[in-house]
């Protein structure tokens, strides 16, 4: 067990919220076609409210604080927030499109010793990236922002969300990240709107595209290992928790609403009306989330993939049932292994197996 896993387990055993993502605004200068947010300001927390909240989070034991949006630099007081968070010794990570990062901002982020800055880059080609952000010139500015951050020694992570529009460009983005001295991560997940609107999912990759991504050794490493059939299900697996959402992590919106995770918009309280710790310890919603282990999932507990699936309880919730399957993750498990999930069997929603698929399936029989 790594030191990080050990700390995670200790936090879980003691009910400590080790990680919080705080979105400081939903306003944004980009209008990404796949974004799950409404960009109007419905009454963001003030600087003073956020400072009070940060005091509470530090007191509660939060160590990892991710500041995100929206675009964080749309807030004029963003550096006041970061400075205060660092004075409380949070490990601060920032998600931004870097469009507004110039010399002064890069210097300030270096001086504040933020852990890393994550920047979304969709393509190395401006015509593709800018067509996703709907902001002309955005790739050029984002890359310039990354260069400035790197020149000041700030660690940058390039996050590459994959969708149909940029499917062929991940190699180019990875190469760009390497040239910039940034880390690279890829995510083929498109999240439904927070209000449950699922129309953006049409942009997401289908199974054939996911199969291609999952068979790229540049992206997944050892393809045979990544795409291996799932091991047999056992009791230990079924005792596992679905993920850290609500257990050692949570998400807080610019309006003070607390959810188990940014991708799990189950309203669990509001920090403007209640103390953070009161919500964290006593929210019925969080306690319900915490009560669920894999054996409590009516469909997934009987699925071959239960021990290795990336099932997101938030995506399941957005599909109508937090104990149900997340179809997007069923598709990923199928794309990896060519073995349909229990949910896909129920819905008879999987393509006919192709070629080696039958061999892989037979090995688990």
Nearest-approach distance from CB 52 to other proteins, in angstroms: 13
Decide if residue 349 touches other proteins (CB under 8 A): no
Instruction: Report 127-166 residues binding other proteins (CB under 8 A).
Output: 155
Among 7, 186, 220, 360, binds other proteins (CB under 8 A): 7
Among 29, 39, 52, 61, binds other proteins (CB under 8 A): 61
Among 62, 119, 163, 205, binds other proteins (CB under 8 A): 62
Q: How many CA atoms lie within 13 A of 194 on its CB side?
A: 19
Decide if residue 272 touches other proteins (CB under 8 A): no
Nearest-approach distance from CB 117 to other proteins, in angstroms: 12
Decide if residue 277 touches other proteins (CB under 8 A): no
Nearest-approach distance from CB 365 to other proteins, in angstroms: 43
From the list 305, 322, 321, the residue with the least C-alpha distance to 313 is: 322
Instruction: Report 80-99 residues binding other proteins (CB under 8 A).
Output: 87-92
Nearer to other proteins, 91 or 361 (CB): 91
d(CA 156, CA 183): 6
Token look-up 């529009």 returns 165
DSSP codes joined into one string, 219-254: HHS-HHHHTPPPPPP-HHHHHS-S-SBTTTEEEE-T
Decide if residue 177 touches other proteins (CB under 8 A): no
DSSP codes joined into one string, 8-55: HHHHHHHT---EEEEE-----S---TT--S--S-S-PPPHHHHHHHHH
d(CA 340, CA 338): 6
Among 49, 113, 179, 206, binds other proteins (CB under 8 A): 113
Chain centre distance of CA 254: 17
DSSP codes joined into one string, 72-124: GGGSTTHHHHHHHHHHTT-EEEEEE--TT--HHHHHHHHHTT-SEEEEE---S
For residue 71 the two structure tokens come to 């675009």
Span of 60-68, 97-105, 227-235, 282-290 interacting with other proteins by CB under 8 A: 60-68
Span of 40-48, 70-78, 112-120, 312-320 interacting with other proteins by CB under 8 A: 112-120
Nearer to other proteins, 155 or 323 (CB): 155
Decide if residue 362 touches other proteins (CB under 8 A): no
Span of 61-69, 129-137, 157-165, 273-281 interacting with other proteins by CB under 8 A: 61-69
Q: Which residues bind other proteins (CB under 8 A)?
A: 3-4, 7, 10-11, 14, 16, 18, 58-59, 61-63, 87-92, 113-115, 155
């Amino acid at each position: 067990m790594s030191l990080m896993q050990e700390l995670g387990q200790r936090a879980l055993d003691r009910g400590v919220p080790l990680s919080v993502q705080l979105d400081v605004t939903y306003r944004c200068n980009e209008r990404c076609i796949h974004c799950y947010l409404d960009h109007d300001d419905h009454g963001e927390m003030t600087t003073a409210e956020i400072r009070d909240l940060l005091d509470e989070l530090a007191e509660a034991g939060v160590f990892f604080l991710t500041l995100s949006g929206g675009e964080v630099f749309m807030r004029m007081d963003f550096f006041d927030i970061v400075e205060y968070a660092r004075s409380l010794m949070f490990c601060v990570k920032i998600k931004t499109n870097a469009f507004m990062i110039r010399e002064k901002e890069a210097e300030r982020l270096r001086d504040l010793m933020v852990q890393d800055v994550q920047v979304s880059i969709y393509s190395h080609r401006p015509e593709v990236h800018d067509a996703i952000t709907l902001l002309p010139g955005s790739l050029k500015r984002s890359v310039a922002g990354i260069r400035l951050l790197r020149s000041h020694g700030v660690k940058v992570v390039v996050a590459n969300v994959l969708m149909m529009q940029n499917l062929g460009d991940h190699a180019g983005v990875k190469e760009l990240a390497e040239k910039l001295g940034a880390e690279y991560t890829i995510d083929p997940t498109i999240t439904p709107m927070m209000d449950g609107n699922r129309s953006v999912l049409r942009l997401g990759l289908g199974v054939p595209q996911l199969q291609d991504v999952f068979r790229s050794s540049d992206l997944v490493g050892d393809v045979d290992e990544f795409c291996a059939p799932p091991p047999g299900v056992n009791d230990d697996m079924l005792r596992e928790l679905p993920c850290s959402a609500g257990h050692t992590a949570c998400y807080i919106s610019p309006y003070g609403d607390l959810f188990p995770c940014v991708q799990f918009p189950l309203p669990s309280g509001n920090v403007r009306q209640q103390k953070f710790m009161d919500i964290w310890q006593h929210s019925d919603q969080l306690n319900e989330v915490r009560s669920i282990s894999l054996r409590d999932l009516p469909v997934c507990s009987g699925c071959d993939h239960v021990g290795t699936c990336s099932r997101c309880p938030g995506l399941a919730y957005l599909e109508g049932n937090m104990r149900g399957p997340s179809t997007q993750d069923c598709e990923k498990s199928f794309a990896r292994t060519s073995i349909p999930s229990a949910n896909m069997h129920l819905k008879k929603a999987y393509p006919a197996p192709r070629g080696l698929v039958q061999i892989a399936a037979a090995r688990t029989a």
